[in-house]
Structure 1
Amino acid sequence: MSRILITGMSGAGKTTVLHELSRRGYRTIDTDYDAWVLPDGTWDEQRMSALLASDSPLVVSGTVENQGRFYDRFSDVVLLSAPVEVLIERVSARTNNTYGRSEADQSAIRQYVLDVEPLLRNGATLELDGRQPVAELADEVERLIAGPIRPDAR
């Protein structure tokens, strides 16, 4: 079964792509909500392990310190990326989340792009430009969910 992780910096488009995939009928989990992330900023490992043991296709989004512990349980890890100024513009304008509006948040995002994004890139199986239209990004993830076409599957 396909289990895809969409990761990236705040403002890269993870939640937006997840909403589009959900609209298309896929099971999605945004770990920024519903207590997936513990107070220390890591995923609840027991809960995440139980989720990834399911038998249905699944798309998860999030960026946490311990996500690498789960990479072997995802068929693909997709990094959504965008230039830092695009990230800052997006987080400043969003209405569903206040993170990114303050100077301190924006400074942290700039530092995360330097320190964290290279680690995410290293663990990713695919990097997508978060500036692409949402439908195109969702199409790319949908291709991963479908998996490779076997030569005998005509």
Structure 2
Amino acid sequence: MGRKNYLIDGVSCAGKTTVCTELQRRGYHAIHGDRELAYSGDLQTGKPVDASSAEPGAWIWDVAKVRALVADHMHQISFFCGGSRNSARFVELFDAVFVLEVDLATLNQRLAARPADEWGGTAEAGAAFARFQHATKDGFAPNAIQIDATAPLASVVDTILAQINHD
């Protein structure tokens, strides 16, 4: 959707949705990936999986839709905000990737405050995966720009915008 496209990633509760909403408030084209692109699917095939099945799928993005949005140059800049277990299949489409970083204490505090019905599965499973991903950095682009997401929201967004203005 943009001539320049940026991915904003991070563990659950790092602030991806909040940053996306703030970017939109500031007039930027920003896509809530978890709301507009994501679904429970098979990580290998991309086929949807019923979240209530015995073998629930992974939280993935529709790769064809991501490619189509990136190819549409209607906007000068587009931000794609959210987490996806299949991001390796489309990460090369982005001009830069930002990973919102939080320390473990902040992550635990945010996880405890998050409503249980916001998870794709159980709150416990979501929290366990967020802590695993926090510890291992599993699934994040190795060349991602780290952003301290414990800072105030305005500062986090200003830092991202400062980085893209250096492109």
| TM-score bracket relative to the smaller structure | 0.7 to 0.9
* Equivalent residue number for residue 113 of structure 1: 134
Q: Please give the root-mean-square deviation of Cα atoms over the aligned residues, in Å.
A: 2.3
1:134 counterpart = 2:150:
no
Amino acid at match of 2:114: R
Runs of 4 or more, structure 1, over 4 Å off, are none
How far did residue 110 of structure 1 move?
Answer: 1.5
How far did residue 28 of structure 1 move?
Answer: 0.6
CA pair 53-121 structure 1, distance change in 2 beyond 3 A: closer
Structure 1 residues 94-125: Cα deviation after superposition (integer angstroms, max 9, x where no partner): 3595339844432232222223x25415141x
| TM-score, normalising length: structure 1 | 0.82
| TM-score, normalising length: structure 2 | 0.76
CA pair 112-89 structure 1, distance change in 2 beyond 3 A: same
More strand by proportion, 1 or 2?
2
Partner Cα separation in structure 2 for residue 62 and residue 105 of structure 1: 14
Partner Cα separation in structure 2 for residue 31 and residue 61 of structure 1: 5
Partner Cα separation in structure 1 for residue 141 and residue 94 of structure 2: 15
1:91–1:101 CA contact under 8 A, matched in 2: no
Gaps of 5+ in 2: 42-58
Say which of 60, 82, 86 aligns to 1:66: 86
CA pair 119-102 structure 1, distance change in 2 beyond 3 A: closer
Partner Cα separation in structure 1 for residue 138 and residue 129 of structure 2: 15
Partner Cα separation in structure 1 for residue 116 and residue 124 of structure 2: 18
Gaps of 5+ in 1: 149-154
Instruction: Tell me the matched-pair count.
Output: 145
Structure 1 residues 55-110: Cα deviation after superposition (integer angstroms, max 9, x where no partner): 12100112212212222211110010111221121132135953398444322322
Helix, strand or coil for the counterpart of 1:131? coil
CA pair 101-141 structure 1, distance change in 2 beyond 3 A: same
